[in-house]
A = this chain, B = another copy of it.
Amino acid sequence: MFKTKKQKGLFTILVGVVLWFLPMVTGLPNGLTMDAWHMFAIFVATIVGYILTPMPIGAIALIAVGLTGFLKVLKPAAALSGFGNGTIWLIVSAFLFAKGFIKTGLGARIAYMIMKAIATNSLKLGYTMAFTDFIISPATPSNTARGGGIVFPILRSLCSAFQSEPEEGTQKKIGSYLIASTFQANCITSSIFITAVAPNLLVVSLASETAGVSIGWGQWALAMIVPGLLALLICPLLVYKIFPPEMKATPDAPKIAAEKLQEMGSMKGNEKVVLFAFILALALWATSSFTGINATMTALVCVGVMLIGGAIEWEDVITEKGAWNTLVWMGGLMSLATGLNKSGFIKWFADGVGSNLDGVSWVTALLVLALVNMYLHYAFASMSAHVGAVYAAFLTVAIAAGAPPLLAALMLGCETGIMGGLTHYATGSAPIFFGANYITQAEWWKVGFIVSISNMICFVGIGMLWWKVIGLW
């Protein structure tokens, strides 16, 4: 549709300008203030920019925030409020956790320990990778960092050890299977913990902002652990059926792992520091509804433990550009979403939709929304852009149709991670795994679609029942 960044940029600006001035032609919709409309214009242009990316989304966020204040749509303090948001700093902290896992080698050690213990055949190797990802997922809010930074390097060197190389035409020996299975698992774990991927935190914030639904870390984990573990247990086996590896037994894998562990030596002090900080964070996050200690504060203190213990250095913090990038683009989006909500726009929209939904049962409405939300992701190159563009609106519609707010928030929210499995561009870790060239694009989409059905049955179907059992609706 657009060939150059310039065209994309001009279109983005055009959307904003046209929307901004539209009320001069059509008149202002009943029940909205001009400020609310202007906020809407900037918000839509920002989302269009996030989707088309004429510039990196952080740059778009910075400009959008500046403009809301510059054009006096928001007060300066409101325009900047997202940057002091607890969610944002939970993400910044979790990026630093990921740094700790990567830098100290603790992530690799966990993978090799599981591999040494169980991986006597290809299928078990698939499970090894899936559960390595699962174990570290609660504190690595970037599935790209977790999948691409920790799991993928181990996986790739393993494929080489088994002489499965795409350049030599031996990718089907074991590589294709492991790559596909591990990547799909990476997306499933992303759905299980709030802190397993950044857009989950956006989900939580938007749910609170737009529908007043508050979801705690422990509550999310409790809600997702049953459908999530089920999906995670199915995934390696399902992919095994789709891409049966030529090599079934892998008697060498535990030996390779043992050698790597030998090389690494006994656990270093720095690894112990990360492990301690990680367990402390998990314990405090899981018990926060009893202790009342805020999740972000726990994370900051645990990052402090890693800093004091020397596992990461301050230089690591200020050069962790992923954290600062996320701070800006997501903090900016939070400011805009909060501003849009406070302007009354969301309520106006919800009232409008609600009055058009008489006669549709909320179950139907919610399930249709969940299906659309999931497969709409074929059109997105980022979970975050998807959540930013769609989540608040879909949640508003579901609630307007009569769905219990917490149920609707969880159902639309749990899809954020698993939607990443659909395409080779659906999330940041996808191009990394895809780029290893073990799987063609057609194969990738096929696996993605088949696994997505399993995931939908587990999360949306069984999840809905499980949430009823534990009394969430």
The residues of A with any CB-CB pair to B shorter than 8 Å are 9, 55-56, 58-59, 62-63, 65-67, 69-70, 72, 76-77, 79-86, 89, 292-294, 296-301, 303-304, 307-308, 314-315, 317-319, 321, 324-325, 328, 331
Contacts and interface: CB of A to CB of B under 8 A. Distances in A.
A297 B69 contact: yes
Nearest to A335: B84
Given A69-B296, A80-B84, A56 B314 contact: yes
Residue from A62, A77, A82 with most neighbouring chain B CB atoms (10 Å): A62
B66 A304 contact: yes
Given A89-B80, A297-B79, A301-B70, A318 B307 contact: no
Contact of A301 (B55, B66, B76): B66
A317 B66 CA distance: 15
Most buried by B among A59, A66, A301: A66
Task: List the number of copies, as a whole number.
Answer: 2
Contacts of A308: 9, 55, 63
B307 A63 contact: yes
Contacts of A315: 321
Nearest to A302: B66
A69 B84 CA distance: 13
Contact of A294 (B76, B83, B319, B328): B76
B80 A318 contact: no
Contacts of A67: 301, 304
A125 B199 CA distance: 55
B58 A300 contact: no
Given A63-B308, A70-B298, A318-B325, 9 more contacts: A59-B304, A62-B307, A62-B317, A66-B298, A66-B304, A67-B304, A76-B297, A317-B324, A318-B328
